[in-house]
Amino acid sequence: MTRYVLTLEDNADFEPWREMARAALQRAVLPEALDWRIRGGETDLFGQITDNGDGLEALTAVPVVKTVTLRASCLALLRDMLCHSDPARFALAYRIAWRVQGNPHLPEVATDADIARARQMVRQNRQDCHKMMAFVRFREQPVPQREGQGGERRRFLAWFEPQHHILERIAPFFAKRFTDMDWIILTPRGSICWDGKDLAYSSEPCEQPELDDGFGELWDTYYASTFNPARVRTKAMRREMPGRYWKNLPETRLIPQLVAGAEVRVRTMAEQELQPAPAFHERLRSREQLPAEPMLDTTETLEGLAAQIRTCTACPLHCSATQAVVGEGPADARIMVVGEQPGDQEDLAGRPFVGPAGQLLHKALGEAGVDRGALYLTNAVKHFRFRLQGRRRIHQSPDVGHVAACRPWLEQEIALVRPKLIVSLGATALRALDGPGMAMADVRGTSWTVGTGENAVRRLALAHPSWLLRLGEGAQGNAERRNFSKGLTRLREFLDQPGT
């Protein structure tokens, strides 16, 4: 069996390996017939590399016998694993590519030894990326003064020692995160550089420079002041910050003495007299003792009711929301539109239906020939419920307790406005108006009458605009938008009827 020696640089990316692997696969070369080497790495037992000339040149001289295809998922796995520093990665990647030819679903078999090793490499690469994002420490460097030029960008330098060949992969993160300054990250595996316009990568190994920006003492003071002696976990610190990262962080020389004094500091903290919690913390801790429903005072105007709603503490939502969002529209409006709760933009603006869902509603009303100013717009729940995702506030549907706490406000709004048609948008509004016995899926797009005589009120159930936004532009989304617009035309017909 002819053997071919294929040599790659240690920091070779996916494309050089892909070229060699494709040539071998097209010629049906068995994995055992390929000897993948790293240039400048280990040789054979006798210090010699024996082959029949240049490996790739000799390989391409063999006639092509078949066409090779790899699924995108397999290519992604191989691309991710080849960032690893294991010298055996090239041979493993080819073995997987060879086996996939007869079993396209092989990358999905987690118990396969080759796939398990490849996935382990991918995890280790990602961990290395995470460590680099966490432990790179930039230090500012002086910028040369240029005659006649001002407003020079600041320049920073950093040193890091990654385990694997992740620089090209991690470079876009730093370019996006630190786009307003010039920086260079030096490593033993190469360097990445950003000048505000271009992101450059070099595979040339770097030597660790002497870095001093004059802020070392200030940083040590800050770190020592934030060190929590009550939460010292030395095993976790060693696991999450191994020695190769530890040695390059200046504050780590303080850690031994901070850990040594942790027990005394914890005892001192425990002996200190308790201080009252800040007002905001007290407000949060008192949520369990909040009243079960709002304290309603008799009022005959929407302005008076709005003033009461803005001071509502009937449920915990008021603790985190910016403000209560009260209803808006004519006091004698013949149509009331009830939504679920304020969104992020409504919470900030203090007005209902001004965010993306409100804009969709406004557009649909215009297409239906309905003046938004003729409607009274409100929500079943008056405060915004959300969860934090980074700095973003992600909408969360209110639960039964929130709806129950706000129901007296909604009932008072209906009593003051006395609408002849109430439109519920979404399941939460339907539940607030009619209780849990009516399912949105059964009544969406339909209307009915509640009460008799002068107290009769028409009801109309429609989808909430935010649901339509989540459906997107697909077939279902377009169909539901048409149903929504068709439902809104009933509002125009209602307004056009005499005596309503």
Q: Are residues 24 and 76 in the same domain?
A: yes
Q: Determine, yes or no, domain membership for 218.
A: no
For the segment 32-44, the average pLDDT, to the nearest whole number, is 76
Does residue 296 sit in the same domain as residue 379? yes
Residues 442 and 314 in one domain: yes
Angle, alpha carbons 400-404-406 (nearest 5°)? 120
Average pLDDT value over all residues in the chain: 86
Residue 295, domain CATH: 3.40.470.10
- Kindly state whether residue 146 falls inside one of the protein's structural domains: no
Please check whether residues 80 and 174 belong to one and the same domain. no
Structural domain contains residue 280: no
Pull the structure tokens for residue 311. 């001071």
How sure is the predictor about 49, in pLDDT bands with cuts at 50, 70 and 90? very low
Q: Determine the pLDDT at residue 224.
A: 85
Over residues 291-305, the pLDDT tens digits come to: 445 556 667 899 999
* Cα 361 from chain centre: 28
Judgement on whether residues 59 and 187 belong to the same structural domain of the protein: no
Same domain, 370 and 445: yes
Angle at 409 between CA 405 and CA 410, to 5 degrees: 105
Per-residue pLDDT at 50 exceeds 70: no
Same domain, 79 and 196: no
Beta strands 182-187 and 155-159 are parallel
244, part of any domain = yes
Residues 175 and 267 in one domain: no
Is 18 inside a domain boundary? yes
| Residues 342-358 pLDDT 10s | 999 999 999 999 999 99
Residue 323: per-residue pLDDT: 95
Verify that 358 and 489 share a domain, yes or no: yes
Domain total in the chain: 4
Percent of the chain with pLDDT over 90: 58
Q: CB–CB of 144/169 below 8 Å?
A: no
Please give the C-alpha separations between residue 393 and each of 124, 390, 429, 493, in angstroms, as whole numbers: 32, 8, 22, 38
Assess contact for 31 and 4: CB atoms under 8 A: no
Residues 391 and 458 in one domain: yes
pLDDT higher than 70, residue 151? no
Residue 277 lies in a domain: no
The DSSP symbol for 278 reads P
Do 35 and 104 fall within a single domain? yes
Q: 246-259, pLDDT tens digit by residue?
A: 777 777 788 888 88
Tell me what pLDDT residue 161 has. Answer: 92
Q: What pTM value is reported for the model?
A: 0.52
Q: Determine the pLDDT at residue 55.
A: 76
Mean per-residue pLDDT, 425-437: 90
Q: Are residues 168 and 300 in the same domain?
A: no
* pLDDT number for residue 51: 43
Mean of the pLDDT values across residues 310-316? 90
Question: Looking at residues 204-214, what average pLDDT do you find?
Answer: 86
Relative to beta strand 335-339, strand 139-141 is unpaired
pLDDT at residue 145, as a whole number: 58
Mean pLDDT calculated for residue range 406-435: 94
**Using 50, 70 and 90 to split pLDDT, how confident is the model at 217?**
confident
In a domain, 464, yes or no: yes
**Residue 476 within any structural domain of the chain:** yes
Model confidence over 80-102: pLDDT tens digits? 999 999 999 999 999 999 999 98
Q: The domain containing residue 162 runs over which residues? A: 136-140+154-213
